[in-house]
Amino acid sequence: MLAPLMLAALPAAAATPPAPDVSLSRCLRAAQGGIEAAQCYGEAEDQARAQQARLLTTMRAKLARPGPSGTDYPAAARLLEEGQAAWEKYVAADCRLLETVFGDGNAQSLASAECEVKHYVARNRGLEQIRKDFLD
């Protein structure tokens, strides 16, 4: 009885791409060297940035409408933008710090890319939780 329901859910699950950090782990395990590892980080960063853009677009659209009684969606929309700008500035500084501490070398760009991917994954999880808890 449950098997048909479970099987019906499989195509939807298969259509959802893995999180950028999961994709990155898989890619890095298969990488044969620094160039392939750099490609893995580039793909993961692109995926995480695209995911964040989708989340922010969804949240902005929801905050553009009137919220439930007692809420102030226009103020929330402004705070989302302020928080996002502050987060972007923080990530840039944090990952530049890592670059300068790491020094010049082939792996410097990998360390910086890993830093950015980790920040994007964490931010996206936080945005997704806010969306689910308060905007759905």
C-alpha to C-alpha distance for 114 and 131, rounded to whole angstroms = 26
Express each pLDDT in 7-21 by its tens digit.
344 344 445 566 777
Q: Is the pLDDT of residue 109 over 80?
A: no
Q: What is the mean pLDDT of residues 98-116?
A: 79
Tokens of 120: 């994007």
Asked if residue 25 lies in contact with residue 38, where contact means CB atoms within 8 angstroms, the answer is no
d(CA 76, CA 64): 10
- In this prediction, residue 120 carries a pLDDT of 97
Are 91 and 119 a contacting pair, CB within 8 Å?
yes
pLDDT tens for 50-101 read 999 999 999 999 999 999 999 999 999 999 999 999 999 999 999 998 888 8
Domain spanning 21-135 has what CATH number? 1.20.1270
Q: What are the backbone angles phi and psi of residue 67, rounded to the nearest 5°?
A: -90, 180
Q: pLDDT tens, 12-49? A: 444 556 677 777 888 878 878 878 888 888 999 999 99
Domain ranges of the chain: 21-135
How much is the mean pLDDT over the chain?
85
Which H or E run contains 32? none
What is the model's pLDDT at position 37?
A: 82
Residue 63 has a pLDDT of 98
**Contact 87/120 with Cβ under 8 angstroms?**
no
DSSP H stretches of helix in the chain = 2-15, 20-30, 34-63, 73-102, 108-130
Nearest CA among 127, 121, 118 for reference residue 95: 118
